[in-house]
A = this chain, B = another copy of it.
């Protein structure tokens, strides 16, 4: 059953992505949410409505936790099939750059991370997998990245954590090979999955974290809470996604 769901979701995501790219000519409207740099566009909303509608056809009886609120009204447990949906990740990049944004989904089954999808929208590359079957970039299986330490890693840390020096993360940044900021959890998760980044540290909402978490854990990478509260699938978390060694190096420095 999961295999059928998987293939249908991949097709659906590619279709939604093509629709998204057609809107890059500017035929959308932008509104602010919590602040002037927290944007939502009509494309975020259209994508979410479309994805949620299709998921209910592909996986009847599922529940959906999605960013813009078109999913189920309350999802406060992980019983059965729960989809976590980010219909457009990196909205600021989408609006200002027409590049460097993604679409992300994850399926949890009775609390177990099961399937996940991260679409690199402009490059039309779909990273997907889970459930013990490995992780793929389109049709090509990814190998586990080399287990490099912090000193030999490029690391992405979100800007607010660096500017406010949360959890001594400026010390982490100084001890890495280099610091990068792409402005999209999708792009940064892909960086860690492919080994382009040794670590990504950010405060992430469920839809920013769940898909990358499923794929990272499937590849044997570390996904850990930095503030020691453990990771909750249904709330915000200060987390690292990293190689085992870089992850441990970061935890040693953020104590």
Contacts and interface: CB of A to CB of B under 8 A. Distances in A.
Nearest to A97: B196
Interface string A117-154: 00000000000000000000000000000000001011
A96 interface: yes
12 contacts: A36-B151, A36-B177, A37-B178, A92-B177, A96-B177, A97-B191, A99-B196, A162-B162, A180-B181, A180-B182, A180-B183, A182-B182
Interface residues of A, number: 26
A115 to B, nearest CB: 27
A170 interface: yes
Copies, count: 2
Contact of A92 (B162, B173, B178): B178
Contacts of A93: 154
A185 to B, nearest CB: 13
Contacts of A98: 196
A177 B99 contact: no
Nearest to A158: B179
A2 interface: no
Contacts of A179: 159, 163, 181
A174 interface: yes
A115 B19 CA distance: 39
B154 A183 contact: yes
A163 B159 contact: no
